[in-house]
Amino acid sequence: MSGAQLGGCGILGVGIWLAATQGNFATLSSSFPSLSAANLLIVAGTFVMAIGFVGCIGAIKENKCLLLTFFVLLLLVFLLETSLAILFFAYTDKIDSYAQQDLKKGLHLYGTPGNVGLTNAWTIIQTDFRCCGVSSYTDWFEVYNATRVPDSCCLEFSESCGLHAPGTWWKAPCYETVKVWLQENLLAVGVFGLCTALVQILGLTFAMTMYCQVVKADTYCV
């Protein structure tokens, strides 16, 4: 039970740290402007901490209601994660298509008032991954209505270098570049997912075992 609380506290802490130190680094999505890494971690951390708190109190007090609530909530989280994983692998192509369309819409918000987070996110991604645009650097041509790209697309950064010739820009598409990077780190993600699932299964087993013991104890007392 305390493991869930510690895990939730850690996730919440990272989310708060990101919000405080990287507040301007928001989402790349135009459809979900509040969907940032910091916000997701804060929500997930708070929820996991709440579940862990319920389980911890239920175990200490040997309260059937709280133990059953903990079991049901943890089971729902486990089923939700499993469903999302299955849907992701089943509809990978459709997700890819939708994601690229949404990201291209987001490009039109680049550099506009109130979208500092999105602007910073694209700047960091294009600089760190040495890429330009979603599927091609020409994606930016539609944004500017001209043959130019943001300065973060330049092989060698300089003021207004995005106005120079295409030969001075990164050619790799950001979507595929980031996707390849994620695939290369898929093993680490898979190990983390399996460890998380194992902890959840152990939590479910422990909660149900303790619940049954409390029920038996109450029966014997009667």
| pLDDT means over runs of 10, the chain (222 residues) | 52 55 54 59 73 79 84 86 84 86 90 83 91 95 93 91 91 92 77 76 84 74 46
Domain match, 79 and 131 both? no
Domain match, 79 and 145 both? no
Residues 6+ apart with CB under 8 A from 143: 107, 108, 110
Domain match, 103 and 78 both? no
Q: Tell me which residue range forms the domain holding 5.
A: 1-90
pLDDT at 154: 95
Confirm whether 195 is domain-assigned: no
Instruction: Name the domain boundary from 90, 113, 143.
Output: 90
How many structural domains are present in the chain?
2
Confirm whether 118 is domain-assigned: yes
Confirm whether 220 is domain-assigned: no
pLDDT at 221: 46
Q: What is the pTM of this model?
A: 0.66
Confirm whether 52 is domain-assigned: yes
Residue count (the chain)? 222
